[in-house]
Amino acid sequence: MEEKKEILILAIESSCDETAAAVVKNGREVLSNVISSQIDLHTLYGGVVPEIASRKHVERINYVIQEALGQADVTLKDLDAIGVTYGPGLVGALLVGVAEAKAISYAAGLPLVGVHHIEGHISANYIEHQELEPPFVCLVVSGGHTHLVIVHDYGEYEITGKTRDDAAGEAFDKVARAVGLGYPGGPKIDRISKEGNADAIHFPRAKVEGAPYDFSFSGVKSAVLNHINGCRMKGEEVCQADIAASFQKAVCDVLVSHALAAVKDYGMQKLVLAGGVASNTSLRSMMETACKKERISLYYPSPVLCTDNAAMIGAAAYYEYQRGVRHGLDLNAVPNLKLGERQEKR
């Protein structure tokens, strides 16, 4: 049979607080990327409320998909497959996307390809860096994950390091709340840090004994809280910008040193950043400087592809589709899905 040249995938993402759909061609060309964010709603509660997230996904998903198909100027008949995030994430939120994808797959007779959310974040880089191919080291830093992943090939992942406690994004969010910046913390700390002195306060850079690529951010978070309490007890003013900048530098220092060590130890030439925290301006510039010095090629997506979106799921789904991965209508949401683990039907 003659091989079809163009593979069009409709991708759906609903693992947390963004309802998103995209149409992606051959894994690297985005024809549409529609994101309906619920951030404003969750800001009222200081964080994501799972029950509200699920309800909003149900309300918005059909509109988001129609919009994605419309903007790409395609109909279901033009598609080759449906890609969907089935884990990890909030179970009720994931179920909305998975149920929707299964319904479309059944109704339109299209193959279903379940995608791991982290694989999606990593694959966001294939969209904007057409020349990027594995192998490489990827630092995945998001609200729920901090992983150092060796990407041996498409779909072949080895997790060499991960956080022992808080994820990097989670630490940003908690520190932002403590200094009174509110939710979501990452972008707010990023912004206010530009007005602060990153060397004003020395916060700890944690190492995990015997695990050189693992992370721990609970210590730096506690150190920030202790610093704030100390200032208040002494009646001193708490300088939000200095705390934010010093905290951000402490976190980025660790991310840079661990990521570069992994690149060197694994004999790689390329370092890739992914996930919401990869849009942090300080992390990007510190990584740029360090990689230039070590002659390592650095890649990261533009901010809209760092945070949750469906285009990245479409890119990942394409490579899974090409590897022959197909899921049945028994595909379920897996809130703690491990990278590389599959619920597969070939």
Site for Zn ion in 266-325 (CB under 5 A): 308
What minimum distance in Å lies between the beta carbon of 176 and ligand KG4? 7
DSSP H or E stretch at residue 245: helix 240-265
Shortest Å, Cβ 11 to ligand KG4: 15
Residue 111: which of 339, 318, 333 has the closest Cα?
A: 318
Beta pairing class for 81-87 and 8-13: parallel
In whole angstroms, how close is the CB of 235 to ligand KG4 at the nearest point? 31
Closest CA to 33 of 57, 63, 62, 69: 69
Among 14, 36, 85, 142, contact with Zn ion (rule: CB under 5 A): 142
262 token code pair: 């992994």
> Of 69 and 313, which has the nearer Cβ to Zn ion?
313
Report the phi/psi class of residue 236: left, alpha or beta, with left for phi > 0 and alpha for psi in -120 to 50. beta
Nearer of residues 100 and 308 to Zn ion, judged by Cβ = 308
Dump the DSSP string for 36-100: EE-HHHHHTTTS--HHHHHHHHHHHHHHHHHHHHHHHT--GGG-SEEEEEEESS-HHHHHHHHHH
The answer to whether 105 and 12 are in contact (CB under 8 A) is no
User: Which does residue 184 bind out of Zn ion, ligand KG4, none, counting CB within 5 to 8 angstroms by kind?
Assistant: ligand KG4
Q: Pick between residue 87 and residue 134 the one whose CB is nearest to ligand KG4.
A: 87
Q: Considering the complex, what minimum distance in angstroms separates the CB of residue 118 from Zn ion?
A: 8
- Site residues for ligand KG4 per CB under 6 A: 16, 142-144, 169, 172-173, 184-187, 190, 275-277, 279-280, 307-308
Minimum CB–partner distance for residue 320 and ligand KG4 (Å): 19
Residue 88 binding partner per list Zn ion, ligand KG4, none, with a CB distance cut-off of 5 to 8 Å that depends on partner kind: none
Based on the shown chain and the rule CB under 5 A, indicate whether residue 38 belongs to the binding site for Zn ion.
no
